[in-house]
Structure 1
Amino acid sequence: MQERIRKLHHNRIFALVFWLVVVFAAIVTLPNVNTIIQYDGQPQLANTSQPVKATQIRNHWGRNLDGTYTVNAVFNNPNGKLTNKQQAAINKTTSALQKKASYYGIQKITTLTNTPTSKPQLLSKDRSTEIVQLSVSHNQGPVRSIAKQLNSQITTAGLDTYVTSPEIISDAANEHISSFTLMVILMTLLIALVAMGILFASIIAPIITFLAILISYITTLSLATNLAYHWNFAYSEYTPIFLLLGISLFTLLTSFWFFRELRNRIDDGDDSQAATSQVIHDLGYRILISTLTLTLAFGSLILFNFSTIRAYGLLGVGFAITGIASVTLIPVFAGMLGTSLFWPKKTRPVLKDRKLWYHLTRFGLWQPWIAALVVLYLAGAAAFGGHQSLNYNNAQDIPNNQAVQGARVLSAHFGQGKSTPVTLYLQNNQRLDNQDQLYQLDNLTKKLRAQPGVAAVTSVTQPGGQPITQYYVANQLDGLNTSLSGTIAQLSALQTDLKSDQSNLKQKTLKAEVKRLDSLSAKTSKLISESDNLQSTIIAAQSRSNAGGNPSKKARRYVQRLNAVNNQLTSALTTLSTLSTNISGTSSDAGTAYSNLSSYQETIKSVNASLKKSQKQIKTLNKSLTQMYTYLGGLQTSEAAKSLYLTPTQLASGDFQQSLVNFTDDKVKTTTLTITLKREPNAQTTAKTLAALKQVAQSQLRGTSLKDATLTFSGQPVVAATIQQQYQHDLIRVLLLVFGITLILLVLFSRSLLQTGYWFLTFLASAAASYQLTRVLLRWATGNDQFNWQVPLLAFVPLTVLAVVELTQLAISYRLNQASLLDWLLPGISEVGQTMRHSLFIIIAGVLGLLAASSQVLTAVTLITVLTAVIFNLALPLMASSFGKLSVVIPNQKPYHFHFRRGSRSKRTRSRRSTRSTPDTSTSDDESSQDK
């Protein structure tokens, strides 16, 4: 039994069983990778970040909108303005969608019909595009399925329809990456198989390498996805690809080393098991160094907080698994198959002596300064010849997606920032539906709109993105001024009427009539007195006539005459009595009239005085109203009139209450301001614009009733800016950490700080040069010179593998060398160059599988890797030999001593000193000849 166990151990069967169990468990427990990419692929922002805080606010919004996201249903007429018929069709589609709202998880629909105040935000200026905003619940189902269902539901004859939102576009980006991930994996494995077959002219060896890659990859991928699925560990949408990239390259290189040494030993007649053991012993140190370097370098990335960078830390585990598989799994098949491993090629291929590194090294030794300057100049010009901007827009790499097309339609008709708005959440301790709070919110809205880079701002006081005129003092003053103007006109007319009434009274005429009545009254009194006297005389004469008896005829005639006169006088007296009575009545009436006229005169005087007083008051009032009108007119044209003031009637109006529903939560203590930027999110201006908006908002609210309010920004631009900030903050530290660990380990292995530093600087210069060259090539081919922010991280994987593998081999060769540095440079570098061409071929072949995907990101990674490998393999022998020689030659040179002549020295003095020095020289020459 022990003998069988020993044989099994000798044949490494236990290692095979171990790996079979591991890969079986990995396959069984492997979650759905596409699902993990969909839900966990996007960068996981910190809980303290603005977008995460905004999500928490939205989840407790109330009004049946908890946990919802906004989707834009876009209706576009490509031929021009929307017709009445098309508008009716849109309304019909919206009504049908409203009936199925519960089925699609739609909690709210905002249209032109139910929210007319938001018309500028829902209908484009050219009237060709209309938006219907849908608030969809996250709990309804996957974003991509909801988007497909809604897109089919809103289809309208004669119109182009789209369903778009930042969430849908992000999900479409993940879906696009998932769609080509499997293809990239298969192509990479296939190319690895072909590459190993070309190198060894064999079929079995590539299959063994393929199995080693597959087992290591599945084990690492299962570990990564389970950590993300069960423990919410960091995961990137490119995790399956960069794991495959690193593991396949490292497995190909270690397999090549192993099979080449094994082939040499088996062809020399060694037993397969013995040869395998010896190869493991010889290569174990080199594989251990490379594995340890890559494991520590990438494993250290777990220390970073940014989830995308932390996800690359799993590569450390992957390299450790790959290193273990290289010395345990591959030897199992090598020991069992022996020479059959290289079937059908029976003889060892004859390796030609390649002279490229030899000639480059000789040139570097011959002209070290020229070689160093030329390489540094070319690398520096390429590395610093352009800007290093990156693109943080995940929609750039998505082809032919309806959500992206919808976003482009919105950008074309509403402005670039329409599809990716910024939402500002303002949380306050008090309600926001009173005049004071609304006034401050409106001032904040106007202040934000005035900032550079901002196209529009909508809020509870400006739901359409523009001020509502009746809510502002200027409009209200305009109505008040109109009323005052009418009042002043009425007062002027009244003043004119008063003047007319006063003139119509004719006070002087009334005084003349009173005087005439006074004269008439006096004459009447005199006439009455004279009538009384005449009557008395007549009566006396009559009595005397009666007393005379029968007078003479003369007397009788006189009496007759007197009787006639008496009769006449009697008649006259009667007439005079009547007249006297009438005159008395007339006198009484004249007295009454006089009395009445006198009383009327006094009344007229009183009325006249009152009219004068009223006229004076009206004049004063008119003057005051005119001054008030002038003041209000000036106030209307001033900045103060642009302030918001809502009357109680306006606060209770239906339009404003609808704005409260649209822009505040159920407690009316949290409100939103939607900010539309002039440009779509970009690395140059978005972060600066958001920082300026935050500073302006805080400054605007300082010292107001909203000074204690909490401000939280969200939206796709905020997410992109947050990623940019964290990425730029961590990228330099990532490079310093990984390259620092690599350099330190290489120094320890080579035991030379100076030479290893030269080699590593050559690699960094080559990588920088290839980065810029790739940017130039892509700009020439596609017109776009901005890399996606994932490109440097993805390219970081194969480049680090390239540096570790090639520099480790050079470091081991330098350490094992017993000769001096100058004696080692030419033969040592030339010997390493014999195998570097194979490493170059493997690196290039290993990344060609990335071109199977229609992705600019992976295309850029491929070009950067290939160019770096080529440039590095050309520059390394030049730089290593040049700096190696200079590091020895320069310290051995004697320093120059400069002697400055004094003007007072004479030729005789200088000749004396030269004469004195001559015997010493001759003496020393004699002494040296005697010693010989």
Structure 2
Amino acid sequence: MKKVIKLRWVLLAIWVVGLAALIITQPNMNQLVRDKGGYALPNDYSSSVAGRIEKQFNGDQNTTSYIAVFHSDQGLSDKKMDHIKETLQKIRADQKDLHINNVVDSFEQTDLKSQLVANNNKTLMAVFQVENTNDVTVHQLRAKMDTQIKTEGVKTYLTGQELINDDMSTSAEAGLQKTEWITVVFILVVLLLVFRSLIAPFIPLVTVGISYIVAQSVVAFLIKYFDFPVSNFTQIFMVAIMFGIGTDYCILLMSRFKEELAKGKDKTRATQETFRTAGKTVLHSGIPVFIAFLSLAFVQFSLYRSAIAVGVGVIFLLLALFTLLPLFMSTLGKQLFWPMVAKIKEPKSPLWASAGNLAFTRPLIALLIVAAFLVPPILTYNGQLSFNSPEELPDHYAAKEGFDVVSNDFGPGNISPATIYLKNDDNMKTTDYIALIERISTELKTDANVSKVMSISRPLGDRLNDIYVAKQSQSLHNGLSDASDGLGTLQKSLNDTSKKIDASQPQLAAVQTGADKLQVGTNDTKKGVQDLQSALAKISDGIKKGSSGTGEIRTHVHDAQSNWHSCRRGSSNFKTGIKKLLRACRRSPISSENFQAGQALSRLSIQHN
């Protein structure tokens, strides 16, 4: 302590320079809390696993949902609806500037009207898919959107999980400021009552205040560069703990310093003796506090782990107590307790002396007295868990107001519904898995706390009846009835066809007879042609020989004439067969047999020609 007192001005300079440098260069603590102050659960918790599945399902989408709420206590008339539609059209026109990727509303997607317009027709929702970007903060972006969604004749709110978190950060900042002022005022009042001095109360405030500012700056650097745990309550923890125990330690040390001064020691000697005795007590008390908060590093819940910052604060608090406080003591001496300088004496309190004596001599009685104050509150405490984080927000925050409006008109859970993810290595786009999902949906719907279940079998909250066996059976029955009617019609057609075939038998017989005669005529014609060719050959041969005379020629001419008459008779028979065949085809219906006969007739006509 002698060296500390000797180098007190050097140490003060170090504190002042370090404090100034940290204040100038430190990151924005409030913005760090907004960016990194979310509650993170351990990786093996179901919510964390679901979050990873969601990222796999959605890909690299870096968007979040903002919900624009349009409300009127008198109801949304057609005129108000037109105003809302115009507002949303303007939003679409400014999508790029507002970092909005998509707008979902009941005007463009009319099938979503039941989901986005309340049954009482007092509230309408529109969902904005907003791109997360580092170019603009949530706080700045929402300010622009709040201006854009203002609509004539209706109240407008912007809400959503991201905006609720932003309001919680704003509320935490406001709460921190209130806590700091309340703490300062309370400590001043207590110190004034304890020391009855105008100077002494400010010494603990200056000492603890400097250590708090330095510790907070260091924590800000740790958060930014080393991902130190942080939450909305980190600064509040530091203020409450550091000013609480810091004030206690200061009261202990300053009271001990006052005792040494009352014994007639000078300010330097009194300072040394104070830290030789009470200083050890403070050190032995502060180290366990540091270890206790440092052990929170092993806690899994990030909110509690963020209280490690208090451990950092305790380090700087102890440094300030053992460097700055000796400076004030050794410099001011008795003036520290002005205007009670003439009445400095060793403080004695019969009350606290009796209490200490009781604790040492009658420990059991002391424990019973303590239990009398502690047991009743413990027994009567009815801790009720709440998963409604917006309840922590005051009602005047816009995100909280919008959340309450949606909860009242649409039902709780519409802004941040619970999502269940099912993952399997098999392809789940099968009827078996759809049936499984529907069974799960049905079970969830039976829970009294569940108002709506949306799934692949209930895309809008109501189940698709077409997937049920009863519906499918009815469809099958209708299909079988239609098939039966069709079969009846087919049977009737077959019967009619059979009758027509029977009726066409005589015509088919006539066709066959004509075809037979046609074949005979064709054979006769072919034979006559062959004989004619033979006679002509003989005539040619007779002409060439010439010596045979006209008698032989006449003989061959007579033979040729005879063959020509045979050819004509064959041709006549051929024509007669053709006519009969044509008459039979005209009388008979078109059938496969008649079609084949027609083909044969065509071939015969070609051959004849």
- Please, what TM-score do these two structures have when normalized by structure 2? 0.71
Distance 1:233 1:7 in 2: 35
Q: Give the residue type in structure 2 aligned to 1:294.
A: V
Q: Residue 212 in 1 paired to residue 207 in 2?
A: yes
Cα distance in 1 between the residues matched to 2:228 and 2:410: 40
CA distance in 2, matches of 1:211, 1:360: 32
Residue 255 of structure 2 aligns with which residue? Answer: 260
| SS at structure 1 position matched to 2:343 | coil
Letter in 1 for 2:187: A
Out of 78, 100, 107, which is 2:73 matched to?
78
Structure 1 residues 493-892: aligned runs within 5 Å: none
From the superposition, tell whether residues 115 and 436 of structure 1 become closer, same or farther in structure 2 (CA, over 3 Å). farther
Cα distance, 1:72 vs. partner?
Answer: 1.9
RMSD over equivalenced CA pairs, Å: 3.7
Residue 329 of structure 2, aligned match among 311, 334, 354: 334
On the 8 A contact 1:68/1:138 being kept in 2, the answer is: yes
Aligned to 1:465: 461
Instruction: Specify the alignment match of 1:108 in structure 2.
Output: 102
Q: Which residue of 1 aligns with 2:132?
A: 138
Instruction: Go from structure 1 to structure 2 and tell me whether the alpha carbon gap of 1:471 and 1:296 turns closer, same or farther (over 3 Å shift).
Output: closer
Between Structure 1 and Structure 2, how many residues are aligned? 489
Amino acid corresponding to residue 222 of structure 2 in structure 1: L
1:180 aligned residue: 175
Q: Secondary structure at the match of 2:118?
A: coil
1:487–1:250: structure 2 CA closer, same or farther, 3 Å change rule?
Answer: closer
CA separation of 1:77 and 1:233: change in aligned 2, threshold 3 A: same
Distance 2:311 2:443 in 1: 50
Q: Which residue of 1 aligns with 2:165?
A: 170
Report the residue type matching 1:94 in the other structure.
L
Question: What are the equivalent positions in structure 2 for 1:260-299 lying under 5 Å apart?
Answer: 260-299=255-294
* 1:483-521 C-alpha deviation (Å, 9 max, x unpaired): 6668889999999xxxxxxxxxxxxxxxxxxxxxxxxxx
Q: Which runs of 5+ in 2 are unaligned?
A: 492-609
1:352 CA drift (Å)? 7.6
**Counterpart of 2:381 in 1: which secondary structure?**
coil
TM-score calculated relative to the size of structure 1: 0.48
AA partner of residue 104 (structure 2): T
Correspondence for 1:233: 228
Distance 1:38 1:250 in 2: 28
| Other-structure match for 1:453 | 449
Cα deviation, residue 50, structure 1: 4.2
Post-superposition offset of 1:177: 0.7
Give the deviation of 1:186 after TM superposition: 3.6
Residues 170, 394 of structure 1: 8 Å contact kept: no
How far off its partner does 1:285 sit?
1.9
- 2:310 matches 1:310: no
Kindly indicate whether the alpha-carbon contact (under 8 Å) linking 1:301 and 1:309 is maintained by their aligned counterparts in 2: yes
Distance in 1, matches of 2:305 and 2:204, equals 29
Q: Residue 409 of structure 1 aligns with which residue?
A: 405
Match of 2:147 in 1: 152
- State how far apart, in whole Å, the 1-side matches of 2:132 and 2:95 are: 14
1:424 aligns with 2:417: no
2: distance between equivalents of 1:196 and 1:408?
Answer: 44
Q: Aligned partner of 1:247: which letter?
A: M
CA deviation after TM superposition for structure 1 residue 216, in Å? 1.0
Q: Give the Å deviation of 1:392.
A: 4.6
Q: Work out the CA distance in 1 between the residues paired with 2:342 and 2:131.
A: 68
Q: For the Cα contact (< 8 Å) 2:258–2:344, is it kept in 1?
A: no
- Once residues 368 and 337 of structure 2 are traced to their aligned partners in structure 1, the CA distance between those partners, rounded to angstroms, is 46
Q: Deviations over 1:273-323 (max 9, x none)?
A: 222112221222212211222222222222323222222223223223222
AA in 1 matched with 2:458: Q
Contact preservation (8 Å) 1:11, 1:335: no
Q: Tell me by how many angstroms 1:212 deviates.
A: 0.8
Supply the distance in 2 between the matched residues of 1:173 and 1:125 (Cα, whole angstroms): 30
SS in 2 for 1:109: strand
Structure 2: distance between partners of 1:490 and 1:33:
79
> Does structure 1 residue 24 correspond to structure 2 residue 20?
yes
Using the TM superposition, give the Cα deviation of residue 360 of structure 1 relative to its aligned residue in structure 2, in angstroms: 6.7
SS at match of 2:150: coil
SS in 2 for 1:73: strand
**Greater RCO (CA < 8 Å, at least 6 residues apart):** 1
| CA distance in structure 2 between the partners assigned to 1:178 and 1:339 by the alignment | 40
Q: Are the aligned partners of 1:117 and 1:463 in contact in 2 as well (CA < 8 Å)?
A: no
Q: CA deviation at 1:373?
A: 5.7
- 5+ residue gaps, structure 1, are 1-5, 496-932
More displaced, 37-46 or 474-483? 474-483
Q: Does 1:127 align with 2:121?
A: yes
Is the CA contact 1:213–1:248 (under 8 Å) kept in the aligned structure 2? yes
Distance 1:270 1:371 in 2: 37
CA distance in 2, matches of 1:103, 1:360: 69
Aligned partners of 2:435 and 2:116: how far apart in 1? 25
CA spacing shift, 1:403–1:10, aligned 2, 3 Å: closer
Q: 2:36 aligns with which of 28, 37, 40?
A: 40
Match of 1:192 in 2: 187
Question: Structure 2 CA distance, aligned partners of 1:361 and 1:17?
Answer: 41
| Identity value in percent | 26
Q: Per-residue deviation at 1:416? A: 1.9
Give 3-state SS (helix, strand or coil) of 1:453's partner: coil
